[in-house]
Amino acid sequence: MTPERWHQITSVFEAALLRGAGERRAFLDAACGGDEGLRREVEAMLASHEEAPDFMAEPAAAVAAGHGGGDGASLAGQSFAHYQVLARLGSGGMGDVYLARDTRLGRKVALKFLPDYLAGDERRASMFTREARAASALNHPNIVTVYDLGEADGRYFIAMEYVEGETLGQRIHRERDPLPKLLNYLRQAAEGLTKAHAAGVVHRDLKPDNVMVTRDGFAKVLDFGLAKQFVPPGGADGGGGSEAATAVLAPQSLPGMVMGTAGYMSPEQAQGRVREIDHRSDIFSFGCILYEAATGRKAFEGADALDSLHKIVHAPTPQIREAIPHAPADLERIVRRCLQKDPEKRYQSIKDVALELEELQQELQRQPAPPRPAPSELNQTGALTGAATKQAAPPAAPTAEAAARPTSSAEYLVGELKRHKTGVIVVAAALILIAVGGAALLLVLTRRDDAGGAQAADGSPVSFGRMRLTRLTTTGRASDATVSPDGKYVAYLNIETRGGPVQDGGTASVWIRQVATGRDIRIVEPDDFIVRGMTFSPDGNYLYYRARKAGEGEWVLRIPALGGDAQKLIRDPFSPISFSPDGKRIAFVRNHSPAVGDSTVIVANADGTGERIVTTHRGAELFATPARPTAPAWSPDGRVLICALGRPNDTLSLLEVQLEGGAERQIGTQRWSNIDSLAWLPDGSGLMLSARDQSSPQSQVWRVAYPSGEAHRVTNDLNEYHGMSLSGDAQTMAVVQSARDTDLWVMPAGRPASEARAVTSGTGKADGSWGISWTPDGKIVYGSNASGNRDIWLLDTERGTQKQLTSDARQNFYPQVTPDGSSILFLSDRGDEFGIWRMDTDGGNPRQLIAATVLRFTISPDGRWLVYSGTGAKGIPALWRARVDGGERVELNNEYWEEHPAVSPDGKQIAFQYFLLGTRGMSIGQIPIEGGPITRIAEPPFRLGPVLRWTPDGKAIAYIDNRGEAGQIYALPAAGGPPRQLTDFKSDSIFWFDFSRDGKQLALARGTQTSDVVLISNFR
Strand, helix or coil at 976?
A: coil
| Closest to 574 (Cα-Cα) out of 525, 616, 538, 542 | 616
CA–CA distance from 31 to each of 5, 583, 689, 752, 1006 (Å)? 14, 79, 63, 65, 57
Can you tell me the distance from the alpha carbon of 671 to that of 849, in angstroms, rounded to the nearest whole number? Answer: 23
Can you tell me the distance from the alpha carbon of 30 to that of 42, in angstroms, rounded to the nearest whole number? Answer: 13
- Residues pairing with 398 in the sheet: none
Decide: 289 and 186 in contact? Cβ < 8 Å.
yes
List strand residue ranges (DSSP E) for 142-218, in order: 146-152, 155-161, 165-167, 201-202, 211-214
Residue type, 478: A
The yes-or-no answer on residue 205 being catalytic is yes
Decide: 299 and 287 in contact? Cβ < 8 Å.
yes
| Closest to 355 (Cα-Cα) out of 762, 668, 895, 729 | 762
Can you tell me the distance from the alpha carbon of 10 to that of 53, in angstroms, rounded to the nearest whole number? Answer: 20
Strand, helix or coil at 702?
A: strand
Tell me how far the alpha carbon of residue 1002 is from its chain's centroid.
27
Can you tell me the distance from the alpha carbon of 1002 to that of 476, in angstroms, rounded to the nearest whole number? Answer: 28
**Helix residue ranges per DSSP H, 666-744:** none
φ, ψ of residue 253 in degrees (nearest 5) = -150, 165
Termini Cα distance of the chain: 40
User: Would you say the C-alpha torsion 364, 366, 367, 370 has a positive or negative sign?
Assistant: positive
Q: CB within 8 A of 583, min separation 6: which ones?
A: 537, 538, 539, 606
Angle at CA of residue 236, ends 231 and 237, nearest 5°? 60
Cis upstream peptide for 707 (omega within 30°): yes
Strand, helix or coil at 23?
A: helix
Burial class (CB in 10 A: 0-12, 13-18, 19+), 86: middle
Can you tell me the distance from the alpha carbon of 650 to that of 620, in angstroms, rounded to the nearest whole number? Answer: 10
| Closest to 972 (Cα-Cα) out of 921, 931, 1009, 935 | 935
Decide: 129 and 149 in contact? Cβ < 8 Å.
yes
Total residues found in the chain within this entry:
1020
φ, ψ of residue 24 in degrees (nearest 5) = -65, -40
Can you tell me the distance from the alpha carbon of 47 to that of 865, in angstroms, rounded to the nearest whole number? Answer: 80
Tell me how far the alpha carbon of residue 545 is from its chain's centroid.
27
A 10 A CB-CB count for 551 gives: 5
Can you tell me the distance from the alpha carbon of 320 to that of 294, in angstroms, rounded to the nearest whole number? Answer: 8
- Residues pairing with 711 in the sheet: 704
Can you tell me the distance from the alpha carbon of 274 to that of 229, in angstroms, rounded to the nearest whole number? Answer: 12
Decide: 17 and 50 in contact? Cβ < 8 Å.
no
Q: How many CA atoms lie within 13 A of 136 on its CB side?
A: 27
| Closest to 473 (Cα-Cα) out of 509, 527, 521, 518 | 518
Can you tell me the distance from the alpha carbon of 825 to that of 843, in angstroms, rounded to the nearest whole number? Answer: 11
Catalytic residue (one of 96, 148, 205, 528): 205
φ, ψ of residue 201 in degrees (nearest 5) = -115, 125
Can you tell me the distance from the alpha carbon of 55 to that of 185, in angstroms, rounded to the nearest whole number? Answer: 30
Catalytic machinery residues: 205
